[in-house]
Amino acid sequence: MCSMTNEQIVNSPDFIKLCKRLKSQARGITLNDTIQALKTVSFVGVPASSTIIQVLLQLIRQGVNDLSLHQIIFLEFMMRNFDRNPLVDALRIAFPLVFEAQLSLKMAQDDVTSLAELLQYACKKPLSDSSINIIIECLEKLSEDIDVKIAKSVMWSLCELRRPLPSYHALLIHCWNVITENIKQCSYTEIDGLLSWMVKKVQQKQTHFYHEGFADSCVRYVVDKDCGFEEGTWILRKLTRLGHINISLIDYIGEKIVNNPQIVKDCKAGALLSVVSGMAAAEYKPVGWNSIQEALMTNTALISKERMEFPWLRLALDFAVLDIFCPDLLRYVFGEEFLQQFLSRDYNLLDNLQLLLLHQAVVTLYPSYSGVLPPQNIIDMVKKYNGDHVQQFPLQAALEKGLGGGSYVWTRLLTKLGHFIDHLVVMRKGGYPVALNQISSNSASKTYVEDLLVPSDSQIILVLCMPASYYAVNCQRLRPVPSLTVHTLEALGYSVVPVSLQHWMNLPDYEKIPYLMQNIKMKCESVDSNEASIVH
């Protein structure tokens, strides 16, 4: 029979006789032999609706409470492609119930491999938290026995778990550590898959899945094994989504581009965006930047712009962070046809704010641009709503106390270009605050920086409150959007003090005001020193 196809086996007289014999003696065979018989007949392609399989399934149903935990797992796996019928459906319902009922009684608590398999099954089924915790606690006790193979299995299982459990955090970290230390024993597909899960979980607000060491080890893997441009850009794309910055990976990709500019010319638009976004997130230009920039501009997808649904505006923003302004791309994203489709999407406030920022960047950082700009009515509409979501100003009280009162601090302002400003203070030479009580025009709802009557020999300082989401997760580097905002404000002639809200909140109370005052003082001193160097 070895040389026969499955179809020939199923239709052969000998096999039919065996099935009839098995059916007639089925009630006399053991549960384990029943499972083996089911495995054999299903392997050769006997349909689940056949009499022989129905007989075997009926025997398994009768002995379901006597199944071992691993027999349940195996049977579920084997029956995954069975066509639905009442018996198959009944068993699929019964298996998780029996598994959970028998778990504490039949689980091999000192077998780490067995426990990993049980966890894999449990995390895919609607089991109670207490049942899953039983397995997790046993695995934690055997943490020293967890090798990289087991660690990967456990990680996949915890990723499959639909709800976070505080009890698994220690096991999660330990498995990340094991994988990180043994990254060379993984395949590229495995690390890419695990990194994808990390991104997915973090985006679902399960930030405990983030592991800085594993993210960096993925980069070392790509560089050490020289995985190539495409593989590197995939990893960079995921790290950028995490907000994780790794300069080594950007250098690696940059070197690939310098050595072979054609790879950027031919790559898909998504790969181009991954490269540019990764560099913009780090605000970093690798060695050979001029060659890299020239290569980026030759990308076929960038030149053709055939897919209007592609995030071209986001690409233009990332280019702007890197001091690249492509007139052809700007004319495209500011054009009526693109904006009509781009701004027609539901829940498009973020789209509008990105458009506003790009407009600000072009006006302030690329004044030589002579192409089309977004319609003024769209820009005015976005400016009207920018900052409305900000309801709290945690720095306000500390600034007012540190500077001498509310008259020295203006809160909730806009620039005429539409920047939202948390706070504004004015300092005269010597680092002394200036009280502002008048503006040059009255507005019922908005206060504009340009309307404040500021003494000519003083310095405007804009204090921006930056939440944790504005920074990279592994360093205090601003992400592209807030970074570009700061650059555009500085281009308007303002001094900007970005304050990390998370860092400030973590300070002892007695350090919070001095911290703000020191940052403002440093900004004043930097301006004074620049003026002195110009005089001399």
Same domain? For 433 and 530 the reply is yes
Q: Is the per-residue pLDDT at 527 higher than 60?
A: no
Q: How confident is the model at residue 413 (pLDDT cuts 50, 70, 90)?
A: very high
Cβ–Cβ under 8 Å, residues 91 and 84: no
Question: With pLDDT > 90 as the criterion, what percentage of the chain qualifies?
Answer: 73
Same domain? For 205 and 227 the reply is yes
Tens digit of pLDDT for each residue in 30-70? 888 889 888 888 887 788 888 888 888 998 999 999 999 99
Q: How confident is the model at residue 350 (pLDDT cuts 50, 70, 90)?
A: confident
Same domain? For 213 and 239 the reply is yes
pLDDT average, residue stretch 333-355 = 85
Say what the pLDDT of residue 535 is.
Answer: 43
452 occurs within a structural domain: yes
Same domain? For 292 and 317 the reply is no
pLDDT average, residue stretch 459-475 = 96
Same domain? For 421 and 519 the reply is yes
116 occurs within a structural domain: no
Element (H, E) at 496: strand 495-500
Q: Is the per-residue pLDDT at 131 higher than 50?
A: yes
Cβ–Cβ under 8 Å, residues 60 and 28: no
Say what the pLDDT of residue 52 is.
Answer: 81
Same domain? For 186 and 263 the reply is yes
Interatomic CA distance for residues 33 and 23, integer angstroms = 13
Query: Cα dist. 520→238, 392, 464, 496, 497 in Å?
Result: 36, 21, 12, 9, 7
428: which strand partners? Answer: 432, 458
Residue that wins the pLDDT comparison between 445 and 89: 89
Same domain? For 232 and 253 the reply is yes
Element (H, E) at 434: strand 432-434
Give the least confident one: 385-389, 456-460, 501-505: 385-389
Mean pLDDT of the chain: 91
pLDDT average, residue stretch 60-84 = 93
Q: Is the per-residue pLDDT at 441 higher than 70?
A: no
Q: Is the per-residue pLDDT at 12 higher than 80?
A: no
Tens digit of pLDDT for each residue in 188-242? 999 999 999 999 999 999 999 999 999 999 999 999 999 999 999 999 999 999 9
Q: Rounded to two decimals, what is the model's pTM?
A: 0.89
Give the least confident one: 15-24, 77-86, 194-203: 15-24
> Can you list the pairs that 288-295 forms with residues at least 24 positions away whose Cβ atoms lie under 8 Å?
288/254, 288/255, 288/257, 288/258, 289/254, 291/257, 291/258, 291/261, 292/254, 292/257, 292/258, 292/264, 293/322, 293/324, 294/261, 295/257, 295/258, 295/261, 295/264, 295/265
The boundaries of the domain holding residue 358 are 305-386
| Other CB atoms within 10 Å distance of the CB of residue 193 | 16
Name the pairing type of β-strands 458-466 and 495-500. parallel
DSSP letter string, 437-492:
--BSS--SS--BGGGB---TTEEEEEEEEE-GGGB-SSSS-B-HHHHHHHHHHHHT
Same domain? For 510 and 434 the reply is yes
Token pair of 420 as six digits: 């939202």
Element (H, E) at 495: strand 495-500
Same domain? For 437 and 509 the reply is yes
Same domain? For 529 and 440 the reply is yes
pLDDT average, residue stretch 158-165 = 88
pLDDT average, residue stretch 145-163 = 95
311 occurs within a structural domain: yes
Q: Structurally, how many domains does the chain consist of?
A: 4
Say what the pLDDT of residue 51 is.
Answer: 82
Q: How confident is the model at residue 408 (pLDDT cuts 50, 70, 90)?
A: very high
Same domain? For 445 and 360 the reply is no
DSSP label at 63?
T
Tens digit of pLDDT for each residue in 361-370? 999 999 999 9
Say what the pLDDT of residue 238 is.
Answer: 98
pLDDT average, residue stretch 13-40 = 78
Name the pairing type of β-strands 458-466 and 420-428. antiparallel
Helix, coil or strand: residue 244: coil
Final residue of a structural domain among 365, 386, 407: 386
Same domain? For 97 and 12 the reply is yes
124 occurs within a structural domain: no
Final residue of a structural domain among 325, 358, 386: 386
344 occurs within a structural domain: yes
Say what the pLDDT of residue 534 is.
Answer: 42
42 occurs within a structural domain: yes
Q: Is the per-residue pLDDT at 4 higher than 70?
A: no
Tens digit of pLDDT for each residue in 312-326? 999 999 999 999 999
Residue that wins the pLDDT comparison between 185 and 49: 185
260 occurs within a structural domain: yes
pLDDT average, residue stretch 343-351 = 77
190 occurs within a structural domain: yes
Q: Is the per-residue pLDDT at 11 higher than 70?
A: no
The closest alpha carbon to 517, from 432, 393, 428, belongs to 432
Final residue of a structural domain among 42, 72, 104: 104
pLDDT average, residue stretch 278-298 = 97
